[in-house]
Structure 1
Amino acid sequence: MQKGRNKRHTFNGHRALLVCALCLFGFCLLAQKPVQKQAISHANDSVSQKQPEPKKQQAKSKVYLIHSDVLRKDSRHPDAQVVVGNVVFRHDSVYMYCDSAYYYDQISSFEAFSNVKMNQGDTLFLYGDRLYYDGNTQIAEVRMNVRMENRNTTLLTDSLNYDRVYNLGYYFDGGTLMDEQNVLTSDWGQYSPSTKQSVFNYDVQLVNPQFTLTSDTLEYNTATKIANIVGPSDIDSDENHIYSELGTYNTVTGKAYLYNRSVLTNDGKQLTGDTLYYDRDAGTGEAFRNMVMTDTVNKNMMTGEYGFYNEKTKFAFATDKAVGIDYSQGDSLFLHGDTLMMRTFYLDTDTMFREMQAFHKVRFYRTDVQGVADSLVFSSKDSCLTMYRDPILWNENQQLVGEKICIYMNDSTIDWAHIINQALSVEELDSTMYNQVTGKEMKAYFRGGEMHKTEVIGSVRLVYYPMDSDSTLIGMNVSETSKLEVYLENRKIERMVMSPQSNGTLYPMLQIPKGKDKLDNFVWFDYIRPLNKEDIFDWREKKAEDQLKKNVRGPVELPNQHLFENKKEE
């Protein structure tokens, strides 16, 4: 009888713990804030619905002994009947089997030993070495080599309590839950055969042929195969790593909806957002709000309100306040455009290369260089950054303008730059004086990050203020030639070579004619220049009077074309 009381005491302790846990869990659900509508719209196949808990009723039916080979009394257990051999008990529609048992008829309970088996209908089977069953509370305490089977789900542990009223089994000393798709292990867990919902705590691990999920708290449904992430969790596969503290993961389709700044990592790239969507089979990830996409290998990143990445094609896309940041040189470059895009060509071949595209209304800033253009493309194939449609480039007090600017890089530093059509270089000396060079095209060569030579080719015109050794202005030189080469040392002009040679006209500082100090295509775009990394978002249009006049070429006349025209007239 004492042993029976001890068993009841054990049950009451577990029962109280279960009721407290369920009440606390219900309170937490009520206290949670509503999930964002956008997140809810994605969760049709991922959010498991909580089933309302049934109101627990005291069992009035009795536990019956159906069969045993031997029935006797034992002086050591005066309140029990000792039953041995092919023992069968029944409580309502549940049948329980064992090799031997102590049957407490008056309190409708029993202790069963060896080859313990419980059948509840034709879907739930419970096995173990020992069982204490209380018919009043309808709780079965199964110990040693425990196995619960519910259709395609199997639960293994050494200590399991199963509550028939709540149809809930829980273990507290380590266990394993298995279905056709996954194997889950944890220190503590519970499983509901009716709702197929399970909860795991402490050292949780979900193992799938394609990935492994580890956490301290996890919910999982064996019917939908959906895991609800409710605490810090890591999902690892051969190439990917996901970190999330809140979300859902469909282990069959590989689709995940993750919240609270979850992080997707693949091949040195990280995608982070307030809300993250990931499709394992398609290899795609999308980030919504406060998106950050980081390439830790090449030391660059993209930010914006929306980002997309395809790990299979290595395609990346960012928009809505999109910013590209390159921090490979220590001094970061910040680039903004309506859309930023990265494409990879000839993937997994010897000729693979990438293109970074920005469009439209592109502005970028770094302390030593700034620029604007309608769009730009950087290709790793030739390490060339090309600025299209009214590009402007600034370096300290120098401005470069043309119809197209190509900047060729060498190990992330400028090797040389090519300004194509209507090339114009302006160097500000003060607010009224500017060195100016214009031509059809211009090539600037760099060494150690500093310009050491410039070539201007075709219809070259020059307005230049030469200086003596103490930097005193001598006058203003105006020249024209076909080709100009300028050699610099420590950012100062060392010499100039004109072909053909032209002395031009040198005007003393006090005798400069009005209007001669500016080339006819001179323009100084100080009002457009990005001032800092925040200013890249403020697009400013050129003034109407400052627009470049495009070179308009007429139709090419073929040799002797006038002969054909005369034939037509005849």
Structure 2
Amino acid sequence: MQKQKSKRNIFGGHRMLLAGILCLFGFCLLAQKPVQSRVKKTSEDTTKVRKREATPQKQPAKSKVYLIHSDLLRKDSRNPDAQVVVGNVVFRHDSVYMYCDSAYYYDKISSFEAFSNVKMNQGDTLFLYGDRLYYDGNTQIAEVRMNVRMENRNTTLLTDSLNYDRVYNLGYFFDGGTLMDEQNVLTSEWGEYNPGTKQSVFNYNVKLVNPQFTLTSDTLEYNTASKVANIVGPSDILSDNNHIYSERGTYNTMTGKAYLLDRSVLTNEGKQLTGDSLFYDRNEGLGEAFRNMVLTDTINKNMMTGEYGFYNEKRGYAFATDKAVAIDYSQGDSLFLHGDTLLMETFHLDTDSMFREMRAFHKVRFYRTDVQGVADSLVFSSKDSCLTMYRDPILWNESQQLVGEKICIYMNDSTIDWAHIINQALSVEQLDTMKYNQVTGKEMKAYFRDRQMYKTEVIGSVRVVYYPMDSDSTLIGMNVSETSKLDIYLENQKLEKMVMSPKSNGTLYPITQIPSGTDKLQNFVWFNYIRPLNKEDIFNWRSKKVEDQLKKNVRGPVELPNQHLFETKKE
């Protein structure tokens, strides 16, 4: 018996040991299986995350829509999937609360239809109101209809049909709507608004109304925080004094500053400023144009072009440089004037004594079919219709050349009335390549009719070299004379008669017996190599030859304009 008991104890101990080993082995197996499962799950999750990162997708709701309160809840036999809730109804989805007077609640699909006094509250910044609402808790899209109002801080959106996507935080209307903030009111047929970014997009018959202007467009982007409108389609901005047309750019409706591209146009009281790009400050009345600038005055029929232009509409001040050209087209035959810099300024603006000055400097050249000229600088004033050429000016009319230290040209309806050549005045008419009619004196006055010189007055130390002709235009000889005053009369650009005071007989040389050196006055010079040939040639500056420079005036320097006339204004 004792042996058997001892044997049972031995076998019993072995069984317990075996059971312990089996339990330990089973625990290891059980412990190993969850580890493998977690590794596999982690790998799958990582793959899913990478997939989501590669292709961003809209995420479904993480919670269902709950009915928080209603005064009455019942079933409707006509709609067995819905619970009818009536009176002080409150729904909650995540942190969003929705209110209404009555609703159909679809608990199984986490959705509801709400009626009357609908209100949706998202945090303390977004409120949505309407007469009807269908909310899908799975897609998180709220469809609000009739008398819809979305409020986001200082921004209000009004429409009759609005869909609000909570995932993308985006509300959009498609049957006409109005967006209002403290600065502007915008209307369009279709639009969307993001309460998070404050960015909105409008399409079809867009209209932005501001107390100072109105913007109309077919497509417009607008930010209610920055008050900046992004112009992305043909748009017009109209105010009392100006009009902007642009197809691409930005317009800050609060500061009035615009950055416009694609050949935008700024129009102000008959003046148009165009450029590849424009900057405009509405409050200061300043406009700048960059590349291919054109400033047109449609009232006075003139324009300025260049690679850069500046315009101050409050002062009537304009500035152009870099291939700058002023063009006057009031007479049909346009005059083209080029200088390194062109300025236009208005004085006594909006008064009876208002006048304008046009200034050009340096290396000035101008061309019109009937008149051409060069000078270092010039000023044209509408006060006396006088164009004054400074520093080595030269003026051509047909075969006539006028030279002096200063030339004043008086205009009548944009055509030359008369010209005053001051100091070292010289008039030269070319007959052929060897013969020239020449007149010189201290000063000279040339009078024009129908764009042709018909009379010239020469005053002081007059000297003359001219070739009289008989009736068939045959040269008779060469006359050399001196006097104190000379009046020359021309007919069709040909000499008709000369009147000298006091009378001078002069000397007439037969055409074959002209003494050498007597056929040219001492200060004779022919500047045909400088003369502008056409409107493109005004850009080609050609300096005088050293031997053709005017001699120093021993009588004293000619009067020059005030230096400020040729200084760029500091804005």
Using the size of structure 2 for normalisation, the TM-score is 0.87
User: Which residue of structure 2 lines up, in the alignment, with residue 50 of structure 1?
Assistant: none
Task: Structure 1: give runs of 5+ residues left out of the alignment.
Answer: 1-52, 556-570
1:190 aligns with 2:199: no
Residues 54 and 166 of structure 1 are in contact (CA less than 8 Å); yes or no, is this contact kept in structure 2? no
User: Which residue of structure 2 lines up, in the alignment, with residue 534 of structure 1?
Assistant: 536
1:424 aligns with 2:426: yes
Partner SS, residue 511 of structure 1: coil
User: Which residue of structure 2 lines up, in the alignment, with residue 106 of structure 1?
Assistant: 108
User: Which residue of structure 1 lines up, in the alignment, with residue 383 of structure 2?
Assistant: 381
User: Which residue of structure 1 lines up, in the alignment, with residue 227 of structure 2?
Assistant: 225
Displacement of 1:500: 0.4
Choose from 51, 57, 71 the match for 2:59: 57
C-alpha distance in 1 between matches for 2:339 and 2:447? 28
Displacement of 1:533: 1.0
1:95 aligns with 2:97: yes
Displacement of 1:306: 0.3
C-alpha distance in 1 between matches for 2:228 and 2:520? 71
1:160 aligns with 2:162: yes
Choose from 169, 180, 197 the match for 2:182: 180
CA displacement, residues 125-176 of structure 1 (integer Å, 9 cap, x when unaligned):
0000000000000000000000000000000000000000000000000000
- Closer, same or farther: CA 519–378 of 1 in aligned 2, 3 Å: same
CA displacement, residues 346-381 of structure 1 (integer Å, 9 cap, x when unaligned):
111111110000000000111111110000000000
C-alpha distance in 2 between matches for 1:266 and 1:96? 52
Choose from 280, 283, 289 the match for 1:281: 283
User: Which residue of structure 2 lines up, in the alignment, with residue 310 of structure 1?
Assistant: 312
Partner SS, residue 122 of structure 1: coil
User: Which residue of structure 2 lines up, in the alignment, with residue 515 of structure 1?
Assistant: 517
Q: Which runs of 4+ in 1 moved over 4 A?
A: none
C-alpha distance in 2 between matches for 1:244 and 1:259? 7
C-alpha distance in 2 between matches for 1:292 and 1:152? 41
Q: Indicate the RMSD between aligned Cα atoms, in angstroms.
A: 1.2
The residue type equivalent to 1:126 in the other structure is: L
Task: Structure 2: give runs of 5+ residues left out of the alignment.
Answer: 1-54, 558-571
Partner SS, residue 547 of structure 2: helix
Residues 441 and 459 of structure 2 are in contact (CA less than 8 Å); yes or no, is this contact kept in structure 1? yes
Displacement of 1:553: 3.4
User: Which residue of structure 2 lines up, in the alignment, with residue 463 of structure 1?
Assistant: 465
Choose from 505, 508, 514 the match for 2:507: 505
Partner SS, residue 350 of structure 2: coil
- Closer, same or farther: CA 344–535 of 1 in aligned 2, 3 Å: same
Displacement of 1:412: 1.2
Residues 126 and 195 of structure 2 are in contact (CA less than 8 Å); yes or no, is this contact kept in structure 1? yes
Percent identical pairs in the alignment equals 87
Displacement of 1:56: 2.3
User: Which residue of structure 2 lines up, in the alignment, with residue 262 of structure 1?
Assistant: 264
Partner SS, residue 510 of structure 1: coil
CA displacement, residues 399-425 of structure 1 (integer Å, 9 cap, x when unaligned):
100000000011111111100000000
The residue type equivalent to 1:384 in the other structure is: C
Choose from 485, 489, 492 the match for 1:490: 492
Choose from 375, 396, 405 the match for 1:394: 396
Displacement of 1:554: 7.5
C-alpha distance in 1 between matches for 2:168 and 2:315? 49
C-alpha distance in 2 between matches for 1:367 and 1:168? 65
C-alpha distance in 1 between matches for 2:447 and 2:556? 33
Using the size of structure 1 for normalisation, the TM-score is 0.87
CA displacement, residues 488-524 of structure 1 (integer Å, 9 cap, x when unaligned):
2232222110000001000000000001100010000
Task: Trace 1:119-138 onto structure 2 (pairs within 5 A).
Answer: 119-138=121-140
1:550 aligns with 2:558: no
Larger radius of gyration: 2
Displacement of 1:396: 1.4
The residue type equivalent to 1:247 in the other structure is: G
User: Which residue of structure 2 lines up, in the alignment, with residue 476 of structure 1?
Assistant: 478
C-alpha distance in 1 between matches for 2:323 and 2:541? 12
C-alpha distance in 2 between matches for 1:490 and 1:546? 29
Residues 163 and 172 of structure 2 are in contact (CA less than 8 Å); yes or no, is this contact kept in structure 1? yes
C-alpha distance in 1 between matches for 2:516 and 2:555? 32
Residues 394 and 403 of structure 2 are in contact (CA less than 8 Å); yes or no, is this contact kept in structure 1? yes
User: Which residue of structure 2 lines up, in the alignment, with residue 437 of structure 1?
Assistant: 439
User: Which residue of structure 1 lines up, in the alignment, with residue 212 of structure 2?
Assistant: 210
Count of matched residue pairs: 503
Partner SS, residue 82 of structure 2: strand
Partner SS, residue 512 of structure 2: helix
The residue type equivalent to 1:187 in the other structure is: E
C-alpha distance in 2 between matches for 1:172 and 1:240? 32
C-alpha distance in 1 between matches for 2:427 and 2:409? 15
Displacement of 1:283: 0.3
C-alpha distance in 1 between matches for 2:404 and 2:56? 77
User: Which residue of structure 2 lines up, in the alignment, with residue 78 of structure 1?
Assistant: 80
The residue type equivalent to 2:427 in the other structure is: S
C-alpha distance in 2 between matches for 1:384 and 1:554? 24
C-alpha distance in 2 between matches for 1:381 and 1:462? 36
C-alpha distance in 2 between matches for 1:488 and 1:510? 26
The residue type equivalent to 1:540 in the other structure is: R
The residue type equivalent to 2:470 in the other structure is: D
Partner SS, residue 350 of structure 1: coil
C-alpha distance in 1 between matches for 2:526 and 2:234? 55
CA displacement, residues 250-307 of structure 1 (integer Å, 9 cap, x when unaligned):
0111000011111100010000111100001110000011111111111111110100
CA displacement, residues 27-70 of structure 1 (integer Å, 9 cap, x when unaligned):
xxxxxxxxxxxxxxxxxxxxxxxxxx975211131001111111
Residues 435 and 464 of structure 1 are in contact (CA less than 8 Å); yes or no, is this contact kept in structure 2? yes
C-alpha distance in 2 between matches for 1:553 and 1:537? 34
1:171 aligns with 2:173: yes
Partner SS, residue 538 of structure 2: helix
